[in-house]
Amino acid sequence: MQSYPQSVSINMQPHGWNGAGSPATAFGPTITSFVQPQPVPNPQDFVLWSFFNAMFCNPFCLGFIALIFSIKSRDGKIAHDPAAASSYGRTAKHLNIAALCLGIVGTIICIVVLVMYYNSLRVGSHF
């Protein structure tokens, strides 16, 4: 979606009579200026991050819930509702952060437990 500058023409000739006492003409100097529309903030929806968390890092279904909020945020962007899109996007971001942190901590705990278990089997077999 591109927005082009809108052209505005302003006739700078005085209305009615000019300074010499004769009627003003409509063929005086014209000033053209361009009005730039304010850019609409584009809230982030974090769909890819949520999809990654839903597939690979989904403790307590947080990744799936984040994916739902991300899709709702994208729907808000399409419906031109930046307030709702921003709110859903922030919720998705926080859920993604929680899912990723819990997933990393859970993975580290599993690796430590497996290493300790295999070390105890190896040490116990040397009687």
pTM (predicted TM-score): 0.65
Domain boundaries, the chain: 6-35, 47-124
Rounded to an integer, what distance in angstroms lies between the CA atom of residue 66 and that of residue 57? 11
Q: Which of 38, 95, 52, 55 is nearest to 72 (CA)?
A: 95
Residue type for position 79? A
For residue range 35-77, list pLDDT tens digits in order.
777 776 789 999 999 999 999 989 999 999 999 999 999 999 9
Q: Is the pLDDT of residue 17 over 60?
A: no
Residue 28, phi then psi, degrees to nearest 5: -80, -175
